[in-house]
Amino acid sequence: MVGSRSARTVANLGIASVLTIFLGGCGSMSLPSFSSSPSAPPEPSAAPEMPATIRADEIVGRWGLASFQNPNDRARTEAAARAQCKQPYVIGAGATGGVIMHLADQATPQELRLKGSPSGKNYIGPPGPAGGEQDREIVSFDGRVLITRFIDKDAATRYGNMVYVRCAPRA
């Protein structure tokens, strides 16, 4: 009787060991699912950047800068921006084809991209999808006057519509 108890104990331990090995393998392998719920769709890849209809070299230069909240103040603000040409805001050419400008609330300018969008709008901002939180939309541009508005609601409220008036004749 003692021998059969030892044999049973050894057999039970052997079975427990084999089950442990099989169950351990289940955690690291993928078994097919027979549920009716569909699998998660693959993550969409980032859309390639669209070129803007405005080239970076078109906005490089010296600009008078002012801003307005109320659209009725646009003409007055353009005149105020023109008066700022004594202390112009300089938009420089970036090393990789962008423009050197400030992001909202940033003391140091950096290279930003001009980006197009499927809707036809143009944006200025860091690399990434057009219309991102750090971007500004180009509301209008005629070669002499550039008007932008930040996408971020807080920055848009604080800065309003930024009006850039070209200080020097275009070369």
Name beta bridge partners: 91.
Answer: 61
- Single-letter residue type at 52: A
Q: Which DSSP symbol is given to 118?
A: T
3-state secondary structure of 171: coil
Report the C-alpha gap between 62 and 39 in whole angstroms: 55
Please determine, for residue 21, whether its predicted confidence score (pLDDT) is greater than 90: no
Q: What is the pLDDT of residue 42?
A: 44
Q: Which of 121, 158, 127, 113 is nearest to 140 (CA)?
A: 121
Q: What is the pLDDT of residues 136-155, one digit of tens each?
A: 999 999 999 999 999 999 99
Q: Which of 126, 141, 145, 138 is nearest to 63 (CA)?
A: 145
E strand intervals along the chain: 50-51, 61-68, 89-93, 99-101, 110-116, 122-125, 136-141, 145-150, 161-166
Q: What is the pLDDT of residue 13?
A: 47
Report the C-alpha gap between 64 and 88 in whole angstroms: 5
Higher pLDDT, 157 or 45: 157
Please determine, for residue 67, whether its predicted confidence score (pLDDT) is greater than 80: yes
Report the C-alpha gap between 137 and 131 in whole angstroms: 7
Q: What is the pLDDT of residues 84-112, one digit of tens each?
A: 999 999 999 999 999 999 999 999 999 99
Please determine, for residue 125, whether its predicted confidence score (pLDDT) is greater than 60: yes
Considering the entire predicted model, what is its pTM? 0.70
3-state secondary structure of 18: helix
CB of 119 closer than 8 Å to CB of 131:
no
- Single-letter residue type at 122: N
Q: What is the pLDDT of residue 69?
A: 96
Q: What is the pLDDT of residues 22-50, one digit of tens each?
A: 445 554 444 444 444 445 444 444 556 78
Please determine, for residue 17, whether its predicted confidence score (pLDDT) is greater than 80: no
